[in-house]
Each structure stands twice: as structure tokens, then as C-alpha cells.
Amino acid sequence: MSALRRVAVLGAGQMGSGIAEVFARAGLDTVVCEDGPDRLRAARRRIDRSLHRAADRGRISAEQRTDAWAHLLFTDDLDALADRQLTVEAVPEDEPLKLRLLAALDKVLADPEAVIATNTSALPVTRLGIATGRPARVLGLHFFNPAPVMPLVELVPSLHTAPEVADRVEEFARDVLGKRVVRARDRAGFVVNALLVPYLLSAIRMAEGGHADAADIDAAMVHGCAHPMGPLALADLIGLDTVEAIARAMYDEDKEPLHAPSPLLSRMVEAGLLGRRSGRGFHRYDPAP
């Protein structure tokens, strides 16, 4: 098999933009596909801010920043992904949307050996894979936010994923992207979110019940348990809609009451109070420039 050099990201929100940056900084020929010019402009701004921040903090040089841009192509035409060897789907945690786009992507890809990876946080990879005509070449590749900084990816083969495909993508993520790879079974939440989300939900219920306010809950875990960030600030960073979606997927699978989203979380999502990117969640934030 040839090396994975022609890659794409389908969906360029917060996570997709970060994954595209990881690919470009690794010197890969990267196509970024989003729905419409406004979303593409937003993706360009996110990547530009992130690359400048990385250069300002000394993580990359000015030359590496310029080189990364040279490896990026932005498009709203799905057909532009036809020659890709690996495409990572990174659209929101909306199962019907993912199923529709994965089926459409499968029809576009010209190479029968092309691999499709989903960045889903919790949805069943097996169910997503069978929406395509190549379930043996579909797997989960779950990056963490911010993708250019966080070292971990979860590799999630489905019941159909060919072992050689999983091995190839693990080698790619480790040796080309420089990531620490952990393998997880295809279960809701995989490894990290199966442990993390119940903790976040417990903190949300604590705030909802009036045991302490958000600032004190976060301060307690930062200064009492040496966590780098409190649970409610972390939920805001992840996005409260994403936390809710993961919790619902976990609850739907195992009906564990502790996995059910709390009424407060659901109301905040309905109100558009999604955390950092909306400017308000459990804390308030300055809007992004």
C-alpha cells in the first residue's frame, strides 16, 4: 500500500479545522471541505489564528506556518475529494447528517482502497460504516480539542474494519502525525469520554442542585485535585452541545441514569449557551476576534 499523503477533512468547524491544521503541519496534501463560502472563510480564520498562536508561542517557526498554508486547499465541492486516500469526517454529532455525508463521500472516492475515518465522539462506528459501500475501510479516528496541541487520538475499529486498515491508520497517526494512539472498542464514549462525561455531568448536577456555584466547583477541582481545568470550564471548552450529544449516545446505549443529560444542560443547549464559542456557558467569555 502507498503511504497516506493525500488527505481531506470533511467539515471544518472547531474540530475539523484543528485536524486540517495537524495534517498541513505534517506536510500532507490537505483538502478542507465545508458547506458554503461563509463556513470556509470561518475555517480559514480559525486555522490562521491557530497557526499564528503556535508561531507566537514558539511551537512552530514562521517558515513552518507558511509551509502549512501551502499544503491547504479549501473547497465546498465534495467531488474535490475524489482522489483522497484518507478522509476524516468531522461534522457535528448529528447521526442522520453523518450517515448522509458518509454515503455521499463513499460514492465520490475513486480509489477502492481509500479509507474513511470519522471523528465522532460517541456514535457507533459500525453503524456509520455500513452507510458506505466500504465498511471494511471505515473506522473511528477521534482527535481531542485543540487537535494541534492535544497529543492523543483514539483509534476505533468497527466490527467490519479490516485489521490491516486499522494497523495502517494507527501507523499513520503515530509516525506521520506524531500522535499517541490508543485503541478503543466501538462503544459509546470510547475510552476518554466514557470516563470524562459522567464526571462533567456530575459537576453540572452539583451546580444545578445549588451545592456550589460554577466558579467554586471549578476552583475546588483545580486547587484541590490539581486538575488543569475545572469540569464546568472544560465542558464549556468542549461545547455544551457536544457534551449533551455524547451523554445522550452513552445513555441510549446502556440506559445508565448517570449518563443522562441533566435538565440544566439540555436547557442551556436549547438557549444557545454552548460555552466558549458562543461567549457564554457556565462561565462568560470574550468573543473570538
Rounded Cα distance, 245 and 113, in Å: 31
Q: Point out which residues pair with 180 in neighbouring strands.
A: 152
3-state helix, strand, coil in the chain (%, to 5): 50, 15, 35
The predicted-structure confidence for 78-87, as pLDDT tens digits, reads as follows 999 999 999 9
The three cell numbers locating residue 155? 483509534
Which of 183, 216, 232 represents a domain boundary (last residue)?
A: 183
Q: Is the pLDDT of residue 288 over 80?
A: no
Q: Is the pLDDT of residue 289 over 70?
A: no
Residue 249 domain boundaries = 193-278
**Could you tell me if 112 and 206 lie in one domain?**
no
For residue 191, the Cα-to-chain-centroid distance in whole angstroms is: 14
**Could you tell me if 172 and 210 lie in one domain?**
no
Average pLDDT taken over every residue of the chain: 95
Q: Is the pLDDT of residue 2 over 80?
A: no
Q: What CATH number is attached to the domain comprising 233?
A: 1.10.1040.10
Answer yes or no: are the C-beta atoms of 33 and 49 closer than 8 Å.
Answer: no
**Could you tell me if 55 and 171 lie in one domain?**
yes
For position 122, what pLDDT does the model report?
A: 85
Answer yes or no: are the C-beta atoms of 136 and 165 closer than 8 Å.
Answer: yes
Q: How many domains does the chain have?
A: 2
Over residues 230-242, mean pLDDT:
96
**Could you tell me if 143 and 266 lie in one domain?**
no
Residue pointed to by grid coordinates 481509500: 114
The three cell numbers locating residue 206? 452539583
Q: Is residue 285 part of a domain?
A: no
287 pLDDT band, cuts 50/70/90, is low
Residues 6+ apart with CB under 8 A from 24: 30, 47, 68, 69, 71, 72
For position 140, what pLDDT does the model report?
A: 98
Q: What CATH number is attached to the domain comprising 111?
A: 3.40.50.720
Type of residue numbered 134: R
The predicted-structure confidence for 54-72, as pLDDT tens digits, reads as follows 999 999 999 999 999 999 9
**Could you tell me if 77 and 177 lie in one domain?**
yes
E-assigned strands of the chain? Answer: 6-10, 29-33, 72-75, 86-89, 115-118, 138-143, 152-157, 180-183
Answer yes or no: are the C-beta atoms of 73 and 37 closer than 8 Å.
Answer: no
What's the per-residue H, E or C state across 218-271? HHHHHHHHCCCCCHHHHHHHHCHHHHHHHHHHHHHHHCCHHHCCCHHHHHHHHC
Backbone torsion region of residue 226, taken as left when φ is above 0, otherwise alpha when ψ lies between -120 and 50, otherwise beta: left
Residues 6+ apart with CB under 8 A from 287: 279
The predicted-structure confidence for 187-216, as pLDDT tens digits, reads as follows 999 999 999 999 999 999 999 999 999 999
275 pLDDT band, cuts 50/70/90, is very high
As annotated, the active-site residues are: 121, 142, 154, 193
**Could you tell me if 177 and 214 lie in one domain?**
no
Rounded Cα distance, 46 and 10, in Å: 15
Handedness of CA 166, 33, 2, 153 (dihedral sign): negative
The predicted-structure confidence for 105-164, as pLDDT tens digits, reads as follows 999 999 999 999 999 988 999 999 999 999 999 999 999 989 999 999 999 999 999 999
